[in-house]
Amino acid sequence: MKLTVNGAPRELDDATTLARLLDDQPARGVAAAVDGEVVPRAEWAGFRLAEGQAVEVLTAVQGG
Amino acid sequence: MKLTVNGAPRELDDATTLARLLDDQPARGVAAAVDGEVVPRAEWAGFRLAEGQAVEVLTAVQGG
Amino acid sequence: MKLTVNGAPRELDDATTLARLLDDQPARGVAAAVDGEVVPRAEWAGFRLAEGQAVEVLTAVQGG
Amino acid sequence: MKLTVNGAPRELDDATTLARLLDDQPARGVAAAVDGEVVPRAEWAGFRLAEGQAVEVLTAVQGG
Amino acid sequence: MSDDPFVIAGVEFPSRLILGTGGAPSMRVVDEVIAASGTAMCTVAMRRISPGTSGSLIDVLERRGVRILPNTAGCRTAQEAVRTAELAREALSTDWVKLEVVADERTLLPDAVELLDAAETLVAQGFTVLPYTNDDPVLARRLQQAGCVAVMPLGSPIGSGLGILNPHNIELIVAEARVPVILDAGIGTASDAALAMELGCAAVLLASSVTRAQHPAAMATAVAAAVTAGRLARLAGRIPKRHHAQASSPTEGMAVL
Amino acid sequence: MSDDPFVIAGVEFPSRLILGTGGAPSMRVVDEVIAASGTAMCTVAMRRISPGTSGSLIDVLERRGVRILPNTAGCRTAQEAVRTAELAREALSTDWVKLEVVADERTLLPDAVELLDAAETLVAQGFTVLPYTNDDPVLARRLQQAGCVAVMPLGSPIGSGLGILNPHNIELIVAEARVPVILDAGIGTASDAALAMELGCAAVLLASSVTRAQHPAAMATAVAAAVTAGRLARLAGRIPKRHHAQASSPTEGMAVL
Amino acid sequence: MSDDPFVIAGVEFPSRLILGTGGAPSMRVVDEVIAASGTAMCTVAMRRISPGTSGSLIDVLERRGVRILPNTAGCRTAQEAVRTAELAREALSTDWVKLEVVADERTLLPDAVELLDAAETLVAQGFTVLPYTNDDPVLARRLQQAGCVAVMPLGSPIGSGLGILNPHNIELIVAEARVPVILDAGIGTASDAALAMELGCAAVLLASSVTRAQHPAAMATAVAAAVTAGRLARLAGRIPKRHHAQASSPTEGMAVL
Amino acid sequence: MSDDPFVIAGVEFPSRLILGTGGAPSMRVVDEVIAASGTAMCTVAMRRISPGTSGSLIDVLERRGVRILPNTAGCRTAQEAVRTAELAREALSTDWVKLEVVADERTLLPDAVELLDAAETLVAQGFTVLPYTNDDPVLARRLQQAGCVAVMPLGSPIGSGLGILNPHNIELIVAEARVPVILDAGIGTASDAALAMELGCAAVLLASSVTRAQHPAAMATAVAAAVTAGRLARLAGRIPKRHHAQASSPTEGMAVL
């Protein structure tokens, strides 16, 4: 299925979970939203992504 | 019937019209509102006041 | 004889008068000094210049 | 003899020395002038005051 | 330079000074300052009519041929301001309004939220809205987007005479404005009015600095001249500021004396 | 208000703006700015005559009927300044002189010691001395004691356009002056000129701000209006500055809407 | 004087300087300026994670033991800001947020309407909100009424280094504030930070003035000392401003020399 | 940064704050402010000794190990100042002197002519002269040429607390100074002291702002911190002032929310 991750198109196996998509992310300092809604880390494992969704994965960077 | 005119209580005959109440007002530079709603001068004659209404009669004064 | 006029060397006949030196100057708005001393216009005719003197001839120009 | 000390008239025995006049002064932080001239402390003992002289005795005080 | 019309909502005004009538000790002084200032538009407030109230103010303004601009001074909410504007329109037969929605009596500063709300409502009702605002460039932008025909930022609090406390903000407002920017409130004296125009304002609105001056008519003449001076200076293109000096007399041709 | 003569050394001037002719790109511009400014006195510098030098400057000034005030611009010592003044008196038949003795070409700031020395010498020789000075109230006082008929403190360095950097000093000078205080140097635009007058100066002397503006004649009109505005504002008695606001519309009589 | 705790929302901070980490050329510099400034709270921004992104920033902040204050920099609407705050809370396990809702990238000025909307929403969601606002006293008041635990008015535009353009507004905000007022944005150098504290601010938040200085660590030390100096000066009770001089040496006891 | 010695006439001082002892309500306060400020040099005045006069002031200064700098406060002529300096040298065994020659008691402004005259005389007599001067760059230059080891321009009148009225002049003085420039007089609070250092002054001399503050010791600590802050900020290289904003958070990497 096709999704958008941080603005870039991504091709993923159907029913990939958010945990799977983000398993290479650091254990902390990261948060994700799907179609604008925050998905708590605890729910990543059970959160199945669907065709056309937009995933945003953010972390803290230097800022004023 | 009892009304309030510019914040002061007034005792008026039943069914007094706005025109009657304001007949001593100058022909111009004055506007009136009943319970917050502006009543165009053209409608004063036909506008019957009712118990408890609040009439505000304004004019232009020096202002910054 | 050699003199300096407005900073430039000048060769003049001996005993040239200031009037002679300045005869091409406008009738007004001009003043002259010889070796720093002002020479009133009235005295130009009788003022004989001498070897080595420095003559300054000034006029009014735009100024703040 | 009559002198002025710090602006006030004083009656002193003739030929009083500056040292005598100032013997009650602290050993340090003080300087004196007679008629405007500073008299180094070393010279106080030998400095004979004369009729009409003005003696100024200064010290350090709080100042900006 | 010669042709420099001042236009608000399609109406051209011969003077870039708008005069508030408040604070004048008498109607005679109102009349004098209007004449001395050469203004073409004056503000008035709407208040409860009282037996004493003579219509003389309107008479004076009409005799002087100045446009009347009613304000909503004293209103604290959008609703009060809108209704006051409606009454003013009915009483004075004008849909122009100087919109004021202040937050409190001590600062008399505009309340951004209520002001914007009132502006949108009044524009929707067909009013020609000139809002008294603070010096926030963003609020000025939003008021224009709401359809206001001018923006009138303060220089400093009403009646304070503190002049223009933040020229930088006025410059930012002017830089992006698509409607006339009118400096409103805070002017204390002539140089403040001149500065406002030099910053690029299209006009100045003031009351207290003239009406409460020791000699109102003289000050009216003064600020009028200052507005003209500031506008001309803006158009004339001032010299740049230089850290060091630059001689205004020739440096060559010096005599040796 | 109507009667407010501006007098220097017994001579009354119809304008409180004194114009320097330096910096103007052409004699035509000199002519235009004199006309536009309405000035009654212009400064000129004394320089070596050159073949090219036409007498047209003096012609222009005389045609416009303005008084000519020669300066000693560029002089670094009292002696240079005194001799330059003597030559100016001989050339222009006037014993009035704008006395300038500057310390260097970068700042063009007055040298207090040489300036005072030159002033004393010139006054003793019968000159009518108008010294260009810094904004030191003490030097201004000494120049008056020396017999100068006016004191002309700078607002900021010549040609800098920085305006009046230290209004407090100008106020101190004005407060104790027994001769006219003329703000000389630093004016950049109209509001600066208005401020100078509001601080109590009797007049303003400027050159670069007008002659080097993008549109000299327009700026001349602007500063002239500003000088008038500032003078009138001074006489009109401005409102005091207040930390808080003061309503210009009545606080009573509000309708309940 | 000795006991002068700085408390936000019940949390006491040992330093009145809050440091933004933006603009630092390297993580090493971030580390150095935190150490040099002695700050106890630093802001961070939330951005899309990129392969390169190391978690080192958080590591540095945690090693230094400073509280992390995520901001919503770059957000233009209340919705964006609220969602960014939610993500920050999830990522950083903090419900504190420096709320920024700006109107455009050129001025980076707060949008009053969106800001207030976002503040109300976040407070309702249990966030501890510290809003970056303009210097409008009325908006500051509304933000407090909305439940913000501090108000953070700008001195001038972010990164401009123009200092505090309108001290009068900051004084008005401080005068009625019931929560800490933190001067945020515009600080250019140490004296600006000291002035902010003298005006009554409880703290100063700055980034560019330190991170973009030629020598960041030295400037961090400088502004930290300035904040301390300004706070102490505020508490010490400064002398009043006097128009005239007052001798600091005795006027009596002068010798006649 | 670490190595930034402050040296006057070959003598290095550990503090860039010079403290005047005038105005302190008691000797205990003098002692406290010296300790709190960390100053290494204090000024004293010379006055007629009176029976009451205890030597305690000198005792306090010596116990604190600060250098004593006698002044010639109150002197109106070069002769008075020279003789006062001679008496100070005799009484305090120092040839250092803070030279003050003021024109009057209301402004306490320096008299340029008498000051320069006195400076030349004292230098010729072997004194180490630190003149209190106005902010005229030309006079500052002449005082250096006369052999003064520092120049001490005022920020504003003594005891006025008006701060630095003309920063531009201080910058001009600093730009060409070959000796330390010490801001003397006018400091009202910490930010003024920081600004003086940022303008490039080598040190600050103040009295009233500390001794007459409501809490002298606290203000002494404050101004000392401000002097350090301002000096460090000067050396750290501040960011330039920008008309527009510059983001301190990344503009890229924004999420779409």
Residue of D35, D58, D59 to mutate, interface with G, max G Cβ within 10 Å? D58
Check H16, H89, H98, H142 and give the catalytic one.
Answer: H98
Find the closest chain B residue to E18 by CA distance.
Answer: B64
pLDDT value at residue F54: 60
Pairing of strands A30-34, A37-39: antiparallel
Residue G1 has pLDDT above 50, yes or no: no
Cβ-count burial A25-56 (b if 16+ within 10 Å, e if not):
beeebbbbbbeeebbebeebeebebeeebbbb
Question: Is E256 in Cβ contact with C33 (below 8 Å)?
Answer: no
Name the pairing type of β-strands F152-153 and F17-20. unpaired
Question: Which among G187, F162, F101 has a CA at the least distance from the CA of H172?
Answer: F162
Q: Do chains E and D touch (3 or more CB pairs under 8 A)?
A: no
Q: What is the mean pLDDT of residues G154-165?
A: 96
Q: How far apart are the first and last CA of chain A?
A: 38
What is the pLDDT, as a whole number, of residue D28? 82
Predicted confidence at residue C64, as pLDDT, reads: 86
Check pLDDT > 70 for residue G55.
no
CB contact under 8 A, H248 and G23: yes
Q: Please, what is the average pLDDT of chain H? A: 95
Mean pLDDT of H199-222: 97
| Closest residue in C to E250 (Cα–Cα) | C63
Share of chain G above pLDDT 70, in %: 98
Choose, from G98, G142, G231, G234, the residue flagged as catalytic. Answer: G98
What residue in F sits closest to H102 (Cα-Cα)?
F138
Average model confidence (pLDDT) across chain E: 95
Find out whether E148 and E131 touch, Cβ atoms under 8 Å: yes
Q: Model's pTM, two decimal places?
A: 0.94
Alpha carbons H176 and E240: distance in angstroms, whole number:
24
Name chain E contacts of B58, Cβ cutoff 8 Å: 46-49, 84, 87-88, 91
Q: What is the C-alpha separation between E89 and E122, in angstroms, rounded? A: 11
Chain E positions in Cβ-Cβ contact with residue C55 (cut-off 8 Å): none
Residues of chain G contacting residue E107, judged by C-beta atoms under 8 Å apart: 137-138, 172
Encoded amino acid at H199, one letter: L
- Confidence at residue G54, expressed as pLDDT on a 0 to 100 scale: 60
Q: Evaluate if residue A11 carries a pLDDT over 80.
A: yes
Are F64 and F28 in contact, with CB atoms under 8 Å apart? no
CA distance E14 to F21: 33
Q: What is the pLDDT of residue F226?
A: 98
Interface residue of D34, D53, D56, D57 to substitute, partner G, most G CBs within 10 Å: D56
ipTM of the modeled complex:
0.93
pLDDT higher than 60, residue E1: no
Residue F209 has pLDDT above 50, yes or no: yes
Q: Does E145 touch chain G (CB under 8 A)?
A: no
Residues of chain C in contact with residue F92, where contact means CB-CB under 8 angstroms, are: 29, 60
Residue G126 has pLDDT above 80, yes or no: yes
Mean confidence (pLDDT) of chain A: 91
Rounded to the nearest integer, the mean pLDDT of chain C is 91
Q: How far apart are CA G130 and CA G99, in angstroms?
A: 6
Per-residue DSSP letters for E109-157?
Answer: -B-HHHHHHHHHHHHHTT-EEEEEE-S-HHHHHHHHHTT-S-BEE-SSS
- SS3 of residue G87 by DSSP: helix
Nearest to E255 among C56, C63, C64 (CB): C56
Segment F128-145 shows an average pLDDT of 98
CB proximity F49 to C under 8 Å? yes
- H/E run at residue E230: helix E216-236
Residue among E21, E30, E49 whose CB faces B30 most closely: E49
Chains G and H touch (3+ CB pairs under 8 A): yes
Q: Mutation test of the interface with chain A: which of G49, G86, G122, G183, choosing the one with the most A Cβ atoms within 10 A? A: G49
Closest residue on chain C to F87 (Cα):
C31
Q: How far apart are CA E127 and CA E133, in angstroms?
A: 17
E250 lies within 8 A of chain C by CB: yes
Residue pairs between chains A and G whose CB atoms are closer than 8 Å: 96
Please tell me the predicted confidence (pLDDT) of residue H1.
46
- G85 part of contact set with chain A, CB < 8 Å: no
Cα separation, B50 vs F103, in Å, equals 87
Tell me which residue has tokens 């604070």: E23
Tell me what pLDDT residue C26 has: 77
**What pLDDT is attached to residue F79?**
96
pLDDT, tens digit, 9 for 90 and up, residues A13-59: 888 999 998 888 777 889 999 999 999 999 999 999 999 999 999 99
Write down the pLDDT at residue F236. 97
pLDDT at E66: 97
Average pLDDT estimate for G117-129: 98
Residues of D in contact with G253 (CB under 8 A): 61
G256: distance to nearest CA of chain D, Å? 7
* Minimum-distance CB partner of A64 among G23, G50, G92: G23
Q: How do residues E60-70 score in pLDDT, each as one tens digit? A: 999 999 999 99
Touch criterion met for D and A (3+ Cβ pairs within 8 Å):
no
Chain F residues in contact with H120 by the CB 8 A cut-off are none
What confidence tens digit (pLDDT) does each residue in E128-161 have?
Answer: 999 999 999 999 999 999 999 999 999 999 999 9
CA-nearest residue to E246 within chain C is C64
Does residue E208 belong to the interface with chain B, where contact is any CB pair within 8 Å?
Answer: yes
Structure tokens at H231: 């000096």
Looking at the predicted structure, is the pLDDT value of residue G52 above 70? no
Question: At CB < 8 Å, which residues of chain A contact G?
Answer: 6-7, 25-26, 28-33, 36, 38, 40-41, 56-64
pLDDT at residue E92 greater than cutoff 80: yes
Establish how many alpha carbons lie within 13 A of residue F195's alpha carbon, considering only the half-sphere containing its beta carbon. Answer: 22
Residues in chain C closer than 8 A to E249 (CB atoms)? 61-64
Query: Catalytic one among F89, F98, F142, F234?
Result: F98
Contact E250 C7 (CB under 8 A): no
User: Taking all residues of chain G, what is their mean pLDDT, rounded to a whole number?
Assistant: 95
Q: How confident is the model at residue F53 (pLDDT cuts 50, 70, 90)?
A: low
Give the number of other CB atoms < 10 A from CB of residue E139.
28
Cβ-based neighbours of H194, under 8 Å, separated by 6 or more: G190, G191, G194, G226, G229, H226, H227, H229, H230, H233
Q: What tens digit of pLDDT does each residue of E209-237 get? A: 999 999 999 999 999 999 999 999 999 99
Q: Output the pLDDT for position F89.
A: 96
The full length of chain C comes to: 64
The pLDDT of B43-54, averaged and rounded, is: 93
Question: Span F166-175, mean pLDDT?
Answer: 97
Nearest CA in chain H to G236: H215
One-letter-per-residue 3-state SS of G177-238? CCCCEEEECCCCCHHHHHHHHHCCCCEEEECHHHHCCCCHHHHHHHHHHHHHHHHHHHHHCC
User: A3-7, long-range: CB within 8 Å, 24+ apart, which pairs?
Assistant: A3/A49, A3/A51, A3/A52, A3/A53, A3/A54, A3/A55, A4/A53, A4/A54, A4/A55, A5/A55, A5/A57, A6/A55, A6/A56, A6/A57, A6/G48, A6/G49, A6/G50, A6/H255, A7/G48, A7/H256
Active-site annotation holds for G241 = no
Q: How distant is the Cα of B56 from the closest Cα of chain F, in angstroms?
A: 6
Indicate the burial class of E136 (C-beta count within 10 angstroms; 0-12, 13-18, 19 or more): buried
Question: Above 60 in pLDDT, residue H16?
Answer: yes
Measure the CA–CA gap between H212 and H223, rounded to whole angstroms.
13
Are B8 and B56 in contact by the 8 Å Cβ rule? The answer is: no
Confidence of residue G156 (pLDDT cuts 50, 70, 90): very high
pLDDT digits (tens, 9 = 90+) for H31-80: 999 999 999 999 999 999 987 666 689 999 999 999 999 999 999 999 99
What is the crossing angle of helices H190-198 and G216-236, to 10°? 150
